[in-house]
Amino acid sequence: MPIHKIGIRNSLSLILITENILKNVIVQIGTNHSKQIELEWSTVVDIPYFKYLINVFRSNPEYARIFKVVQKIEHNEIEVICSALRSQFEMLQMDDKSCFDKVKLKRVDKYIIYYVFICSSGFYQVCHEDIGNIDTSRFM
């Protein structure tokens, strides 16, 4: 079986998605029976890394500008981080093809936000049938 390389198109100077985040999402997709899956933000991003990202955005205004979250960071930190990660999830590619047809945020209340991932057919199939051959090393 071939190795399937995951990368990010339009690579930014600050990539927020880590290998652990990516592997977690891939495993969840691999156990799901539909190309669409909803995951609560806290099951995607661990709390220590979330807190780290908040500190990065607060102490580096240039990053807040890149992700267009300058004013929002003080109002809803969860939404800011989820939104920044959502935009990067949308840029993920496997073998130069999009991993997701769409990635949305579904807000239940201020602190409960879900990612809604709609997988491309190819990515969904690989997550189910060939998960051991997905190379996430670019996100270390």
Contacts for 51 with CB less than 8 Å, ≥ 6 apart: none
User: Could you tell me the pTM of the whole model?
Assistant: 0.88
What's the whole-number mean pLDDT along residues 113-120?
Answer: 96
Between CA 80 and CA 63 the distance in angstroms is 12
**In this structure, are residues 34 and 50 in contact, taking their beta carbons and an 8 Å threshold?**
no
Beta strands in 92-135 (DSSP E): 92-94, 97-98, 100-107, 113-119, 134-135
Q: Report domain extents, the chain.
A: 4-131
What are the tens digits of pLDDT across the range 4-28? 999 988 766 678 899 999 999 999 9
pLDDT at 112 > cutoff 90: no
- Residue 93, beta-bridge partner list: 7, 98
What are the tens digits of pLDDT across the range 92-108? 999 999 999 999 999 88
